[in-house]
């Protein structure tokens, strides 16, 4: 995965980082039993209260998971996107392509301001780069040795962005790695009455590139602490695995705006290079309209077969099969 830093908000309250650091736990999960190996261990950065809630909900954290048997994928150079992840066998829709304990999981609560929380105010906002960079520096010292090396290795093969490289990579290398390799994930359950977001840096899946017609989706399983990639279409051996970094049910020009912050400029995926760009935009707009039509479920029975087929055809033509798999994935 390639990229550069997203712009974030500025908050200058003094002592803010110290207050946040005070609230955070930096803990390896599982906590280093003799049978646990580094590649099974996740560094969690977040509030203790979140871990406590997870334990109450799921029992011991993390629950056991079944690693995938044999070699599923391989990391290789691509022609224009740095490294990528390629299938080593054929996958059917719904097949698990990657299932791994990530290197790092950050609960989004670190983005909240304790002083606002103390006053009972909504605290969802972004901190500035220096603050996040400082928190990540602390996180870095808590990695198991092998995972610290693996985390640092993630920065080796980027196509360098000159500004981010000079300003950020040298001063806040951990922040640079998070920006280039972190996935935002939303868990499948509610805590504190709201959905909880995580920033997750996987080991292998960090190298999966973007496509506007992706052949896979991802999710973070908070019970097993695994990062999972699931095929949404048939993927043949030797094909590249792809995920989406931005909303896809929008016209090409809007996708390109969002992708610029990942240093993808412009996107040259099969959907963006199509000879029928106007048709593609039109189909995606139709899909978006359907998605935002909350009354559609009630009207489904009233839609004609022709209308339903038209919707299905648009989804298939645009390679947006993840839409069909998504509800299954979020169960």
Question: What contacts 24+ positions apart, CB below 8 Å, involve 305-313?
Answer: 311/286, 311/287
Neighbours of 75 (CB within 10 A): 14
| 215: preceding bond cis by omega (within 30 degrees) | no
Q: In the complex with Zn ion, which residue's Cβ is closer, 53 or 256?
A: 256
Cα–Cα distance for residue pair 45/103, rounded to 1 Å: 11
Nearer to Zn ion, 58 or 288 (CB): 288
Min CB(2)–Zn ion separation in Å:
14
- As measured in angstroms, the least distance from the Cβ of 318 to Zn ion is 11
Q: Which stretch binds Zn ion (CB under 5 A): 200-208, 211-219, 239-247, 322-330?
A: 211-219
Work out how close the CB of 164 gets to Zn ion at its nearest, in angstroms, rounded to a whole number: 22
Name the residue nearer to Zn ion (CB basis): 81 or 267.
267
Smallest distance from the beta carbon of 251 to Zn ion, in angstroms? Answer: 11
Contact 152, 104 (CB under 8 A): no
The reply to whether 24 sits near Zn ion by the rule CB under 5 A is no
Kindly write out the interface string for residues 270-299 of this chain, putting x where it contacts Zn ion by CB under 5 A and - elsewhere: --x---------------------------
Contact between 269 and Zn ion by CB under 5 A: the answer reads yes
Nearer to Zn ion (CB atom), residue 24 or residue 269:
269
CA atoms of 277 and 266, how far apart (whole Å) = 14
- Which tokens go with 129? 């780069």
Tokens of 63: 């629950």
Q: Compare residues 148 and 284 and give the one whose CB is closer to Zn ion.
A: 284
Residue from 97, 144, 205, 212 in contact with Zn ion (CB under 5 A): 212
Size of the site for Zn ion (CB under 5 A): 4
CB of 94 to Zn ion, least distance (A): 24
> CA–CA separation, 208 vs 225, rounded Å?
19
Residue 202 C-beta-side C-alpha neighbours within 13 Å: 23
Contact of 244 with 269, CB cutoff 8 Å: no
Cβ proximity of 88 and 72 under 8 Å: yes
**Is residue 230 part of the contact set for Zn ion (CB under 5 A)?**
no
Strands (E), the chain: 24-29, 42-47, 73-77, 83-87, 96-100, 104-107, 183-191, 194-201, 209-210, 216-221, 226-231, 242-243
Q: Which stretch binds Zn ion (CB under 5 A): 35-43, 150-158, 190-198, 210-218?
A: 210-218
267 touching Zn ion, by CB under 5 A? yes
- Give 72 or 242: the residue with its C-beta nearer to Zn ion: 242
- The region of 67-75, 94-102, 125-133, 209-217 touching Zn ion under the rule CB under 5 A is 209-217
Q: What are phi and psi for residue 66, nearest 5 degrees?
A: -100, 110
Closest CB 159 distance from Zn ion, rounded Å: 17
Chain residues that interact with Zn ion, rule: CB under 5 A: 212, 267, 269, 272
């Amino acid at each position: 995965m390639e990229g550069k830093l997203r712009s974030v908000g500025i908050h200058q309250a003094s002592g803010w980082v110290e207050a946040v650091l005070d609230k955070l736990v930096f803990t390896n999960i599982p906590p280093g039993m003799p049978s646990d190996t580094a590649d099974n261990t996740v560094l969690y950065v977040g509030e203790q209260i979140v871990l406590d809630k997870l334990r109450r909900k799921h029992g011991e954290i993390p629950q056991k998971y079944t690693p995938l048997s044999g070699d599923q994928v391989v990391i290789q150079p691509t022609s224009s996107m740095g490294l990528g992840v390629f299938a080593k066998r054929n996958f059917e829709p719904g097949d698990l392509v990657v299932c791994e304990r990530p290197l790092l999981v950050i609960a989004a609560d670190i983005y909240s301001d304790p002083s606002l929380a103390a006053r009972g105010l909504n605290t969802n906002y972004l901190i500035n780069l220096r603050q996040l960079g400082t928190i990540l520096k602390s996180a870095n010292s808590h990695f198991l040795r092998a995972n610290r090396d693996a985390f640092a290795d993630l920065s080796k093969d980027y196509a360098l962005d000159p500004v981010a490289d000079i300003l950020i990579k040298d001063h806040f290398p951990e922040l640079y790695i998070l920006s280039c390799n972190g996935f935002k994930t939303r868990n499948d359950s509610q805590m504190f009455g709201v959905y909880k977001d995580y920033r997750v840096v996987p080991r292998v899946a960090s190298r999966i590139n973007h496509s506007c017609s992706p052949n896979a989706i991802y999710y973070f399983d908070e019970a097993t602490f695994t990062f999972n990639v699931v095929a949404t279409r048939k993927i043949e051996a030797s094909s590249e695995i792809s995920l989406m970094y931005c909303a896809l049910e929008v016209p090409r020009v809007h996708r390109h705006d969002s992708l610029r912050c990942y240093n993808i400029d412009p996107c040259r995926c099969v959907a963006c290079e199509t000879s029928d760009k106007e048709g593609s935009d039109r189909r995606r707009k139709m899909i978006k309209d359907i998605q935002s039509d909350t009354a559609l479920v009630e009207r489904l029975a009233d839609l004609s077969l022709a209308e339903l087929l038209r919707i299905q055809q648009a989804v298939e033509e645009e390679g947006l099969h993840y839409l069909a798999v998504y509800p299954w994935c979020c169960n």
